[in-house]
Amino acid sequence: MPYTDKFQPTDDLLTHLNSVVPTIKDSFILSRYTGFVSISAVTVYELAIKEIFIDFAKRKHKIFGNFTEISLGRINGRIKISDLKKEFITKFGDKYVKKFEKALTNNQSLLNNQNLDIQVSYNNLLNCRHSFVHKNIVTMTYSEVIIAYNFGKEVIKSLAEAMSR
């Protein structure tokens, strides 16, 4: 299954919420929706990242793929860009870290007209999800979460590009 299929549940949720959220007047309810979207976004990121690493390893060797699948069973929350580089990509070889960094730079340059950094947005979304889940605090607005979610897809795309042969 392509890693991009993992985004569908959150994309579907956003299709619905984007029609509902403008009508919400209660800031508390809006913050709950924002927190829920951050949880959904990070969940699909984790699933997509697992898919990318497992597919890569299985293309190398079936046993390596099985090992990778078991090893990534508990990736939970450890998907910041620094974690991806230090804890995961580097285990496949330094050349893949360099490919990831290059892909991030290339994908960032495609989005420069928005004056936002995809890496910062991605990490902010992870922090928002963490704050919501563990402290019941929402640290971003609904629109910021949506933008960060879409930028995060670019981070995941960069990972997929890097983990290709």
Q: Which residue shows structure tokens 């924002």?
A: 34
Spell out a b/e string for 89-122, using b for 16 or more CB atoms within 10 Å of the CB, else e.
beebeeebbebbeebbeebbeeeeeeebebbebb
Count the neighbouring beta carbons within 10 Å of the beta carbon of residue 165.
5
Q: Considering the entire predicted model, what is its pTM?
A: 0.92
Per-residue pLDDT of the chain (165 residues; tens, 9 = 90+): 799 999 999 999 999 999 999 999 999 999 999 999 999 999 999 999 999 999 999 998 999 888 888 888 777 778 999 999 998 999 899 999 999 999 999 888 766 666 788 899 999 999 999 999 999 999 999 999 999 999 999 999 999 999 987
Q: Which residue shows structure tokens 């290339």?
A: 106
Cα 66 to Cα 130, 145, 156, distances in angstroms: 29, 34, 22
- The answer to whether 122 and 148 are in contact (CB under 8 A) is yes
Task: Note the pLDDT of residue 111.
Answer: 67
Count the neighbouring beta carbons within 10 Å of the beta carbon of residue 135.
9
